[in-house]
Chains A and B, each alone.
Chain A
Amino acid sequence: MMLAVAEVTPAWYLILGSILFSIGAVGLLVRRNPLVMFMCVELMLNAVTLTFVTFSRMLNDVDGQTVVVFVLVVAAAEVVVGLGIIVALLRKLPTATADDINVLKG
């Protein structure tokens, strides 16, 4: 019904964001390479920023875009620290997967 209309409604953007988020979530659960898992987290973050921008436009509210700026900053910081951990880990165990990171196991 909705798809028959040749006009892009905000729901389309929200649906696309949901699809991207779930693809990222499945990738995070299925893959074991820490680098690829990290990329899946970036996918999920981007799905959320798309949703924020859509709501910002629909509600005439600039706060949604401000939040996206903060998400970008946090994502950049997260990538720096995360890749630092991965470098430190893979330097010792070059073939490590997420399953091998169990030193903290009780």
Chain B
Amino acid sequence: MELFVFLAAGGACIVGALGVVLNANPVHAALSLVGTLFGIAVLFVAQEANFLAAVQVIVYAGAIVVLFLFVIMLLGVDRSEDLSIEPLGGGHRVAAGIVGLAVLALPLLAMHSTEWEVTGARAQPGDPNLVDRGTPDVAQLGESLFTTYLFAFEVTSVLLVIAVVGAVVLARKVKRAEYVDDPLLSSATENVDEQVDA
């Protein structure tokens, strides 16, 4: 049963990942991303991380991908690109393939060196981070988050505030007077200004 679940979800992950890289249309790439994210969520369930699977679907498929699609539609960049021109051609593509194989080979060699077994310190009875199969994973995750990792949790709230403020600053419309004086930007924005005036 786990084999079937793994093959189905893993297949969805890899097909989705290839779709993100190979699709010429950004909208199709974003929809392929949903396939990968959903496959990962299924694999989370298969590994008894039920809460994380729910969060994965809600946050990634429900918020992040929708945000991607929103931006694609907002900017009107949903046309297909010419993939023979758009990705870096020729030697760059070969070089990227070599780098990708190297990135893949490194963890595989590391796993081969331990004969495909997970080594490392297992949590011992009495440790606060020991997984107790009897209690739900939400309870254990919450306890870990609000005791051991309380400081890190508080810091993430600061991070989120910074992200919100940063997004507002970045995305608001710049008043024209602010950038016309800038020689680097004014040349780049000239055409857009003409379109706006017309």
- A residues contacting B by CB (< 8 A) are 2, 6-27, 29-33, 35-36, 38-40, 42-43, 46, 49-50, 53-63, 65-66, 68-70, 72-81, 83-88, 90-94, 97, 103
Contact = CB atoms under 8 A, between A and B. Distances in A.
Contacts of B99: 25-26, 29
Interface of B: 2-3, 6, 10, 13-14, 17-18, 20-21, 26, 29-30, 33, 36-37, 40, 43-44, 46-49, 51-52, 55-56, 59-60, 63-64, 67-68, 71-72, 74-77, 81, 86-88, 92-93, 95-97, 99-101, 103-104, 107-108, 111, 116-118, 120-123, 127, 129-131, 137, 140-141, 144-145, 148-149, 152, 156, 159-160, 162-164, 166-171, 173-174, 184-185, 188-189, 192
B68 A22 contact: no
Nearest to A100: B188
Contact of A53 (B44, B103, B173, B174): B44
Contacts of B40: 46, 49-50
A32 B131 CA distance: 43
Contacts of A91: 75, 173, 192
27 contacts: A8-B2, A9-B116, A14-B118, A16-B14, A20-B13, A20-B36, A21-B107, A23-B17, A24-B17, A26-B97, A26-B99, A26-B100, A29-B92, A33-B26, A33-B86, A50-B40, A57-B47, A58-B118, A61-B127, A62-B144, A69-B55, A73-B160, A80-B67, A80-B163, A80-B167, A87-B171, A93-B192
B72 A35 contact: yes
A60 B167 CA distance: 39
B59 A76 contact: yes
